[in-house]
Amino acid sequence: MKKRQFLQYMGSAAMAAPFFTLPLEPGQPEADIPYPSDKDSDEFWERIRADFRLKPDYINLESGYYNIMPTPILEKYVEHMKEVNYQGSYYMRTVQGENKMKAAARVAKLVNCSEKELVITRNTTESLDLIIGGYPWEKGDEAVYAVQDYGAMQVHFEQMEKRYGIVCKKVSLPNHPKSDEEIVSLYESQITPKTKLLMICHMVNVTGQILPIRKICDMAHSHGVEVMVDGAHCVGHIKVDLAELDCDYYGSSLHKWLCVPLGAGMLYVAEKNIPKIWPLLAEHENDPTKIRRLNHTGTIPVHTDLTINDSADYLEMIGLERKEERMRYLQRYWSDPLRDVENVVINTPIEPHRSCGIANVGLLNMKPGEMAKTLLDEFKVWTVAIDFENVHGCRITPNVFTTTAELDQFVAAIKTMAKRT
């Protein structure tokens, strides 16, 4: 296959190739039937569920770590893997970089930024650590972040503290803020003339709380402070409009809610900030204005990059707004009936705009670790325990394949556990 033909193949494969499916579990609906035209119907979501090969051993309410791929995307992934293996070094030396740039451009369009400002990474941690480790720190500079932020980034800030003598200042996010202004004021209270960078979560990973990003950015910028946003759980989950958010840096994991294979993330750097960041690994690109100079990865599983287009196609088939509405519906379906139950604590705000598919529930009569173990061992519900700072409970992350019947079982389980002494 000639280079031009191969480029044409890779660029059109996502749209031209049919969706294939893996063997289904007994009793699982057939996945080779068309998607219903009424995409807001129960039948549509039943058809979407048929795209996933689900283990019958438990109800999976832990999609937050990463989203398993629907079989249409998984089959495309396998196709790409086979094709890259077939082409071998020819692929790697000819169109690898070009195709990665195309994938980055597709993600840039999804999050509404220039393709000059976005690169594909392996995950959110890599994306944000590229900024933390490459920031032009000077002794005495201050960074502000929350104790509820992801641990890997906090550890990297602490490393900068030891290496460069910066000062790390932490805030604690309330689980139930009274207003956006309460959150904005919390971060503003830590800003001094020495503050250089705020790290904030778009969606807090342990509770699902959505923060008022634009308001925080406006406040920080008024003090000359830059903002780095952890959007690990947002791309493919809720609308992300980087032009509207006006942040300086944004990282996300594409293997979460966009359903790309494991090992895919994105980093956005506002164009004006690209020259100031030092690369973690030296790149042949020497132009300080090019974001590619921050993106040396060596040899990686490039078939993952190719699958980004297939995942974006699948999301577009569902519709991002429709998916966001569905995820918020599923979360409220289980969380609302539990908010007034004795011994039950919902650690996620009740206002609809402050959360989407992720929420956290705790029990006053049971520690999170025991709670998660009981849910799995006794009720066959898989989730994850969160037990630090002001968040004590289990993070519940349903997905587009989750049914209300499964959530009914979960709610019944929590109510049963809440009665125990």
Q: Hey, where are the domains in the chain?
A: 42-70+319-419, 75-315
Contact 108, 114 (CB under 8 A): yes
Q: What gap in Å lies between CA 418 and CA 361, rounded to an integer?
A: 11
For residues 388-415, one letter each, b for 16 or more C-beta atoms within 10 angstroms of the residue's C-beta and e for the rest, the string is: eeebbbbbbbbbbbbeeebbebbbebbe
Q: Is the pTM of this model over 0.85?
A: yes
Domain 42-70+319-419's class?
A: alpha beta
Long-range contacts of 269-275 (CB under 8 A, 24+ apart): 269/117, 269/118, 269/131, 269/294, 270/117, 271/114, 271/116, 271/117, 273/226, 273/248, 273/249, 274/117
3-state helix, strand, coil in the chain (%, to 5): 45, 15, 40
Question: Residue 196: phi, psi to the nearest 5?
Answer: -110, -35
What is the secondary structure of 294-352 as a DSSP string?
G----S--HHHHHHHHHHHHHHHHH-HHHHHHHHHHHHHHHHGGGTTSTTEEE-S-SSG
Chunked in runs of 10, what are the mean pLDDT values of the chain (421 residues)? 37 36 46 84 96 97 96 97 96 95 97 97 97 98 98 97 98 98 98 98 98 98 98 98 98 98 97 96 89 91 96 98 98 98 98 97 98 98 97 98 98 98 81
| pLDDT at 297 (0 to 100) | 86
| pLDDT at 26 (0 to 100) | 44
Annotate 246-303 with three-state secondary structure. CCCEEEEECCCCCCCCCCCEEEEECHHHHHHCCCCCCCCCCCCCCHHHHCCCCCCCHH
| pLDDT at 135 (0 to 100) | 98
Give the list of residues 6+ apart from residue 18 with CB closer than 8 angstroms, or none: none
Contact 312, 292 (CB under 8 A): no
| pLDDT at 53 (0 to 100) | 96
CATH 1.10.630.10 for the 75-315 domain, yes or no:
no
From start to end of 32-191, where are the E strands?
59-60, 118-121, 142-146, 167-171
Q: SS3 for 155?
A: helix
